[in-house]
Amino acid sequence: MDAILVINAGSSSLKFQVFGVHDSELRRHLRGQLEAIGLRPRLQATGAAGEVLVDRQFAVEEVPDLPAAVALAHEWLRGLAEVTLLAVGHRVVHGGPDYSGPVRIDAPTLANLAAFEPLAPLHQPDSLATVRRMMAQDPDLPQVACFDTAFHRGHPEVADWYALPRSYYDEGVRRYGFHGLSYEYIAERLREVAPDIARGRVIVAHLGSGASMCALRDGRSIESTMGFTALDGLPMGTRPGQLDPGVVLYMLTTMGLDANQTAEVLYRESGLKGLSGISSDMRALVASADPRAAFAIEHFAYRIGLNTGMLAAALGGVDAFVFTAGVGEKAPSVRARVAERLAWLGAVLDEDANTAGQTRISAPASRLAMYVIPTDEELMIARHTLAVLRGGSG
């Protein structure tokens, strides 16, 4: 079976999926992950019907780092007799000003993308390390980069400029937006779920460990809450979201933090983790009776409400609101708090539908349609990779 391998790399985990290619159709063949890399490495994978294909623990020295994890996962996949890999699609968070669509990766492309590592330090270095390892291990296997920034490249210029000297824009300092693979999938899926709504003005909230929101008009991104880096916009698991730049200057000068210490606070110690002092995981906060957890959740919902107003202004009104990603799909109590913040837009929640996790969770009397639509970034990556392989633009 010809197949596309999709890889999403993190510092301590490697997630992968294999999609079989059947003419022009992609079918998910298996999904897996290698987690707790360098601690308690464990390789798990399940087939299309949920059957366990592998569940194996490894010694730390066997999988000490991400390159070793890539080698192990690749070797296991090569042992599957029924799978012939045609290409590998990689989620790459930051494409910068040069990449507006998926591209086949060569050495110059890899060097260009490495320049954006400081702008996405939680994701870009691991993604590129994975690409390098795959290229070294199997030089003839095409590698394709699919960017989280690409879907937003059609924004009007007025939305993407900062009020800085023009030379900064020329250097690439501009608002890019992220989670584009997720928003692209939701835009396509919405055409199936609610075609009339899909042609209108829709706000999508990608709420996970990383969180952002996107304004869609007729399925196209026109504004996003994230900007130059994935620090902007909503509070996230460990990132603060929107922040007065003066706070950063204060940290660097008056508080005496250096650049690395400041980055550590902004990328790893803030957001829900910093607000609650308990956890970055929304599941732990929802389950906690600590008032600090409740405050962190309320702050999260409050900022979603504020950003909804901004995006509604960009759209000139809003017809629907879509929840997606881990928190958006699996936390009905958080959705209910957000819906309260959207009452000014005419949002009325159907509590039973929300608790049950149905696709449409707004009541019949609601002026604002509200949906829960699971995202599928991996499928988008597979589609883009196959299109590049066949000579298209993705």
Question: What token pair was written down for 328?
Answer: 């958006």
**Cα-based angle 241, 242, 248 (whole degrees, multiple of 5):** 95
350 catalytic residue (yes or no):
no
Question: What token pair was written down for 124?
Answer: 């870009």
Own/partner long-range contacts of 161-169 (Cβ < 8 Å, ≥24 apart): 162/227, 162/228
**DSSP category for residue 32:** E
| Per annotation, catalytic residue among 126, 148, 232, 319 | 148
**DSSP category for residue 357:** T
Q: What is the DSSP string of 37-73?
A: TTTS-EEEEEETTS-EEEEEE--GGGS-SHHHHHHHH
Q: d(Cα 105, Cα 82) in Å, to the nearest integer?
A: 26
**Upper half-sphere CA count for residue 266 (Cβ side, 13 Å):** 27
Q: Specify whether the backbone of 271 is left (phi greater than 0), alpha (psi in -120 to 50) or beta.
A: left
Question: What token pair was written down for 352?
Answer: 């039973």
Catalytic positions are 148
